[in-house]
């Protein structure tokens, strides 16, 4: 232990603070027990009380690790060897597993992933929201106390679920490659197979690479701003089978464009739309402002339930259509609609939830901050012949108070905010509007817990929480929450 001799009081400010000795330093190799998993999916272990995060390690394992980096309170270590293995560990199906950071839980049994996601939600509700969660171990009267957090609804087949890929194009050894950025860098690693996206997307990406290589197409270089092909975006409508291919280019001219079209349509007859998006800006934003149809239609169509959606090159659409339907059915269930209700859908995006609910409500008002999304929402309402929905562009926290002034009195308010959660002014407005029911759709359990606390303090009661696994093998979890005004019994 290093001893520190205190100096004269006048030296206090010129002397550096005494170093606190950490039990490990960079490059040390230690064996640790993994006692938990953090929200990034990294295993958590301790050396003499000092926390180390270990990517790829699972709770219950004993592992040999090498320390990569130390900070005052915690450090990071690399997994070298598993000494005692968790029964939840599975063989990773990717050959590229070590380089890709996107599927953080791919080494964990799927059922264990679902259990972990539910526990993550509970931990947030308890720690951040200071909420009582129903304890299943308790029976009798006490068992009635608290919020019911259901088991996570997972997928029957948790692979091949994504309907969209946005893949950067690069060059490796003079050859065109398409894949993903290596973890923590902008180096593109070539990828032939991604098991979480629809198989057709793999086929199209490989086809685009083959055509590009044959035609000598150059890949865009982020540093120099030179080269033509930046990204390839592929969208597949699961229900109709229609496919869109978007070539994002650094310039208007695509050499041999007829060959591109002929080769894509010959090999992939399900493709109904080939578009070009032009992005000449030196930025890592994928899309530029201008999109041209090179061949076929401007949009592809898909359904969520009975509602039809037109999807253009740039429009947002949920990426897991199977679980989206599960999520929206739960939202509909928690909204408790009979056909007589007025509903507000805050943060409505392209109006997917609004239109889904409008089939069962008297009137739905949707609000969203992105003008293009509201254009899509209105077009989709028209496409489905729905006249009982109205959309407005703006921030929910500005628009909904105005609606209140205009005398709109919702029975149900649905919120589906981005990760940062609801704006405090929106929560205040909900409390003054006093709808009977609130349904909170959340992609971030910590901001959900924070916002539920505000609603609880304002006279609302969180009844049940349904976690839904929209993104298997990643750390993300979506929740739908049933919330009642205190005086409402069911
Ligand atoms: C999680 S998405 C939900 C989209 C939609 N409900 C759906 O299911 O597809 C959140 C949406 O909120 C929008 N948004 C972000 N801040 C907003 C705000 N202050 N007011 C209204 N919309 C906002 C985003 O543009 C995004 O479309």
Q: Ligand 1 center to residue 479 CA distance, Å?
A: 15
Residue nearest to atom 26 of ligand 1 (CA): 349
Residue 469 assigned as binding residue: no
Cβ atoms of 433 and 458 closer than 8 Å: no
Q: Which atom of ligand 1 is nearest to the CA of 316?
A: 9
Q: Ligand 1 center to residue 427 CA distance, Å?
A: 15
Residue nearest to atom 12 of ligand 1 (CA): 347
How far is C-alpha 218 from the chain's CA centre?
32
Q: Is 394 exposed, middle or buried (0-12, 13-18, 19+ CB in 10 A)?
A: middle
User: In this predicted structure, what is the pLDDT of residue 145?
Assistant: 76
Residue 181 assigned as binding residue: no
Architecture category of domain 103-158+320-490 in CATH: 3-Layer(aba) Sandwich (3.40)
Q: Ligand 1 center to residue 144 CA distance, Å?
A: 35
Residue 318 assigned as binding residue: yes
**Is 9-84 assigned to CATH 2.40.50.140?**
yes
Which residues make up the CATH 2.40.50.1070 domain(s) of the chain? 164-304
Residue nearest to atom 13 of ligand 1 (CA): 347
Question: What is the CATH code for 164-304?
Answer: 2.40.50.1070
Which residues make up the CATH 2.40.50.140 domain(s) of the chain? 9-84
In the three-class reduction of DSSP (H, G, I as helix; E, B as strand; rest coil), residue 322 is classed as: helix
Q: Which atom of ligand 1 is nearest to the CA of 370?
A: 25
Q: Ligand 1 center to residue 350 CA distance, Å?
A: 9
Mutate which of 307, 396, 398, 417 for ligand 1? The one with the most ligand atoms within 8 Å of its CB, which is: 417
Query: Going residue by residue through the chain (490 aa), what tens digit of pLDDT does each one get?
Result: 333 322 333 333 434 343 368 999 999 999 999 999 999 999 999 999 999 999 999 999 999 999 999 999 999 999 999 999 999 999 887 654 455 567 889 899 999 999 999 999 999 999 999 999 997 765 555 556 799 999 999 999 999 999 999 999 999 888 999 988 877 777 888 888 888 999 999 999 999 999 999 999 999 998 899 999 999 999 999 999 999 999 999 999 999 999 999 999 999 999 999 999 999 999 989 999 999 999 999 999 999 999 999 999 988 899 999 999 999 999 999 999 999 999 999 999 999 999 999 999 999 999 999 999 999 999 999 999 999 999 999 999 999 999 999 999 999 999 999 999 999 999 999 999 999 999 999 999 999 999 999 999 999 999 999 999 999 999 999 999 999 999 987 6
The catalytic site residues sit at 443
Residue 50 assigned as binding residue: no
Which residues make up the CATH 3.40.50.150 domain(s) of the chain? 103-158+320-490
Long-range contacts of 17-20 (CB under 8 A, 24+ apart): 20/72
Cβ atoms of 41 and 105 closer than 8 Å: yes
């Amino acid at each position: 232990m290093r001893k520190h001799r205190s100096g004269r009081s006048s030296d206090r400010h010129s002397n550096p603070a005494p170093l606190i000795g950490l039990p490990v330093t960079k490059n040390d190799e230690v064996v640790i027990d993994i006692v938990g998993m953090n929200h990034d999916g990294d295993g958590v272990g301790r050396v003499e009380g000092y926390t180390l995060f270990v990517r790829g390690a699972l709770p219950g394992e004993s592992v040999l690790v090498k320390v990569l980096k130390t900070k005052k309170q915690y450090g990071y270590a690399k997994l070298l060897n598993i000494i005692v293995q968790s029964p939840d560990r599975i063989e990773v199906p990717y050959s590229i597993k070590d380089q890709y950071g996107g599927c953080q839980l791919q080494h964990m049994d799927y059922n264990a992933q679902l259990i972990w996601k539910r526990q993550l939600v509970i931990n947030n509700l308890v720690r951040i929201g200071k909420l009582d969660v129903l304890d299943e171990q308790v029976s009798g009267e006490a068992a009635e106390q608290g919020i019911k957090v259901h088991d996570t609804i997972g997928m029957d087949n948790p692979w091949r679920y994504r309907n969209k890929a946005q893949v950067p194009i690069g060059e490796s050894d003079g050859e065109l490659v398409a894949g993903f950025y290596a973890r923590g860098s902008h180096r593109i690693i070539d990828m032939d197979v991604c098991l979480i996206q629809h198989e057709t997307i793999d086929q199209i990406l490989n086809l685009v690479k083959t055509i590009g290589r044959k035609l000598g197409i150059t890949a865009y270089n982020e540093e120099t701003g030179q080269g033509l092909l930046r990204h390839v975006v592929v969208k597949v409508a699961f229900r109709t089978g229609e496919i869109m291919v978007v070539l994002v280019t650094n310039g208007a001219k695509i050499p041999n464009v007829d060959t591109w079209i002929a080769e894509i349509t010959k090999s992939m007859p399900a493709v109904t739309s080939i578009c070009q998006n032009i992005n000449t800006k030196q930025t890592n934003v994928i899309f530029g402002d201008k999109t041209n149809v090179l061949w076929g239609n401007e949009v592809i169509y898909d359904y969520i339930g009975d509602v039809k959606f037109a999807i253009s090159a740039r429009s947002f659409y949920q990426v897991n259509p199977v679980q989206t339907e599960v999520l929206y059915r739960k939202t509909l269930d928690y909204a408790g609609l009979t056909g007589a209700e007025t509903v507000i859908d805050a943060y409505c995006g392209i109006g997917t939830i609004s239109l889904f609910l409008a089939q069962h409500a008297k009137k739905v008002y949707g609000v969203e901050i992105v003008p293009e999304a509201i254009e899509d929402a209105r077009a989709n309402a028209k496409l489905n012949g729905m006249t009982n929905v109205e959309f407005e562009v703006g921030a929910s926290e500005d628009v909904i108070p105005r609606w209140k002034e205009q005398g709109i009195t919702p029975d149900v308010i649905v919120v589906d905010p981005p990760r940062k959660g609801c704006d405090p002014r929106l929560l205040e407005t909900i409390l003054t509007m006093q709808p009977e029911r609130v349904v909170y759709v959340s992609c971030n359990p910590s901001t959900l817990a924070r916002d539920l606390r505000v609603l609880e303090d304002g006279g609302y009661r969180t009844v049940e929480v349904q976690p839904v696994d929209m993104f298997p093998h990643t750390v993300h979890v979506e929740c739908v929450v049933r919330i009642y005004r205190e005086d409402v019994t069911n």
